[in-house]
Homo-oligomer: A and B are copies of this chain.
């Protein structure tokens, strides 16, 4: 199975402008989102499970992988497609053993070395960032994130696909993909958008634009 990562939504109920995560995800699916990750770290395990269960049917019907942040047990209980793990979470090997070979296991990394380690440990994809700092919309704040150069280095260092995350907007997405990412992951660019469906579609178009630019560069090379 090829994992499409063009547009990757990370949920956060309390950054959803008063709308439910279920409604945001429904809109994102209508807008063509490729992956949905439930990341509700401030919520109880019970609430995370209920959210995952509520998203299972609509994502499955749309063919959109449903990923759970951190909790392997919740992923299993909700019959999710996989988990996304960070430095503070369980090791990839533990998740793989409990979820099996078919599960999608993602890993957050911010360096080339960590990207290589995650690939060797069996990650199916990476979340690379923060590319930009998320706090500011200032286009010049790349210096506070890992930046596009590191995105390019990671693209050269690993074979597994990855999304750029952290401060990514439709305006910035083409640059992130041109630099080497397979797609982009966002929270607020979708969850706080006036129209999450349109925002998702625009993000997808921005990713396509980045791919065209990259193809052109590679054609020139």
Cα-based distance from A49 to B98 in the complex (angstroms): 14
Are A45 and B90 interface neighbours, CB within 8 A?
yes
Number of interface residues of A (CB under 8 A): 21
Stretch at the interface among A67-75, A114-122, A166-174: A67-75
Pick the contact of A73: B44, B46, B73, B88 (CB < 8 A): B73
Query: Least Cβ distance of A80 to chain B in Å?
Result: 13
CA distance A97 to B73 in the complex (A): 11
A221, CB-defined interface residue at 8 Å:
no
Min C-beta distance of A91 to chain B, whole Å: 7
CB distance from A24 to the nearest CB of B (A): 23
Residues in chain B near residue A87, CB distance under 8 A: 46
Apart from A72-B73, A73-B95, A77-B94, what are 9 other A-B pairs with CB-CB below 8 Å? A45-B71, A45-B88, A46-B88, A46-B90, A46-B91, A49-B94, A73-B73, A73-B90, A74-B90
- Interface assignment of A89: CB less than 8 Å from any CB of chain B: yes
Closest Cβ neighbor of A70 among chain B residues: B45
Measured CB to CB, the nearest residue on chain B to A48 is B90
